[in-house]
Structure 1
Amino acid sequence: MPSQPFPLVCLPFAGSGAGFYRAWTEGPDRGIKVIPVQLPGREELFLDTPFTDALEAAAQLAPQIAELTAEFPAFGLFGHSLGAVLCYEIARELQRLGHPGPSHLYVSGSPGPWNGRDSRATGLNDEEFLERVQEFAGYRHAAFDNPDLRELLLPVLRADVAMHENYKPSSDEPLGLPVTSIRGETDALVSREHAQQWRDVTRDAFRYVELPGGHMYLADAAEALLRTIAER
């Protein structure tokens, strides 16, 4: 009898939504069941107020994720950049609630949670803000060059960036679950040393993986990423 697919709960990076990960639910059988989580203020939740505090976001998202994964004996949490710190805090919040929590934490394109950014985008005017975010992300989405789309999308991106820039970890107590840190091998924003800082967040097994590409490697290398996770 074939084994059941491994559920992988996926948290968006700044400015994105669950739609990015919904594309991962199609394609070949990888032994992974992708479960995208939507954040308020985007896509079907565009009328909702976006989060501006990572700890508050984790407190609200953790019960939702507990419900989404209730039928599974184990699941993984995956997040890229902002999504990585959200996953980390959600794992802590689930632990605080007495929930078994994820069986594995996958953090991508992110330094350890204690490493803040020296250069900030919060508070800049629109064009300077977008230029700074482009430096952070390594790309600029074409939608921000359309005035109508910019007006729609900019508040969510500003809220996400502020949430990331103001983030302070809730605890320095190590987690008791395996952690895998994944990085694009040519990522100019997150160094190998920074990505390996996640080793310190767990007293369990730690694995570091590099995949082809830069900071947004996952946009072009989803198959390689999901194969890496399937090899857990």
Structure 2
Amino acid sequence: MTQTGASAGHGERTTLLCVPFAGAGPSFFHPWRAPAVGRWRVTSVELPGRERRILETPYRNVVEAAKGSIDDVVADLGPGARTVLFGHSLGAVLAYELVHLLSERDVHVERLVVSGSPGPWTQRERRAAGLPDEEFLARVEEFAGFRHEALDHPEMRELILPALQADCEMHEAYVPSTDEPVSVPVTSLRGDVDGLVTAEEARQWQDATTAEFSYREFPGDHMYLVDHGREVLDVIEAECARGH
């Protein structure tokens, strides 16, 4: 788990638990800390195969990843924690699985915010897993409309590629652990020109909750949040305030 220093204590402040997208690690969300001050403590799920856990074997199954992460997540949040979960793309379905598990662990989830993702029961039709390395990277870049600059450096690519391939495999093969919807409010976010997820698919999350559902769009493609982190935080704050 990574967290801010100034607000790291388990006080009344709500924690914003971020769940990274394919190939990403906690550091993606570090720039969110400053604009989150006074609103949330920002922390991230740290998956094996990246950053501080680069030498560990990455998961290839979303449900197993959630179950394998839940103890660390609960320890980081603290007892009776108030939490908002945010997940983009792969992170959305992993966050969804975590909400199911957190409901059994004395953690109050105020809202699940999913981004760039069809509803959890929709199978991914366009696939990258299993392709040779160069084709795989080209397909991922096409999907995301975004290329990580580290992939242009052979040594970095060698480090990043295994986790990215494992992430894509587990995302594309994802089947929810249960047909039961969650009981927390859900907000679904999407870039308005996302070529990977349609507005209709992003709205499918309404069926994944028995509570309130809302849908918001941002200017941009599948990776809109790279340029709109502050605006995403503003929307999450507004949605949470509306829910009280």
- TM-score, scaled to structure 1: 0.93
Counterpart CA distance in 2 for 1:47 and 1:113 is: 30
Counterpart residue number, 2:32: 24
Amino acid of the structure 2 residue aligned with 1:220: D
* Mapping of residues 30-179 of structure 1, within 5 Å: 31-71=39-79, 73-95=81-103, 97-179=104-186
Shift of 1:16: 0.5
Secondary structure of 2:128's counterpart equals: coil
Shift of 1:230: 1.1
Counterpart CA distance in 1 for 2:47 and 2:36 is: 27
Percent of residue pairs bearing the same amino acid type: 48
Q: Which residue among 213, 222, 228 is the counterpart of 1:221?
A: 228
Shift of 1:5: 4.0
1:52–1:162 contact (8 Å) kept in structure 2: yes
Counterpart CA distance in 2 for 1:69 and 1:8 is: 10
Q: Which moved more, 1:6-15 or 1:135-144?
A: 135-144
Structure 2 gap ranges (5+): 1-10
Secondary structure of 2:82's counterpart equals: coil
Which portions of structure 1, spanning 4 or more consecutive aligned residues, are displaced by more than 4 angstroms?
none
Q: Which moved more, 1:198-207 or 1:66-75?
A: 66-75
Q: Which moved more, 1:68-77 or 1:58-67?
A: 68-77
- RMSD of the alignment, in Å? 1.7
- TM-score, scaled to structure 2: 0.89
Amino acid of the structure 2 residue aligned with 1:88: Y
Secondary structure of 1:40's counterpart equals: coil
Equivalenced residue count is 229
Amino acid of the structure 2 residue aligned with 1:120: R
1:74–1:103 contact (8 Å) kept in structure 2: yes
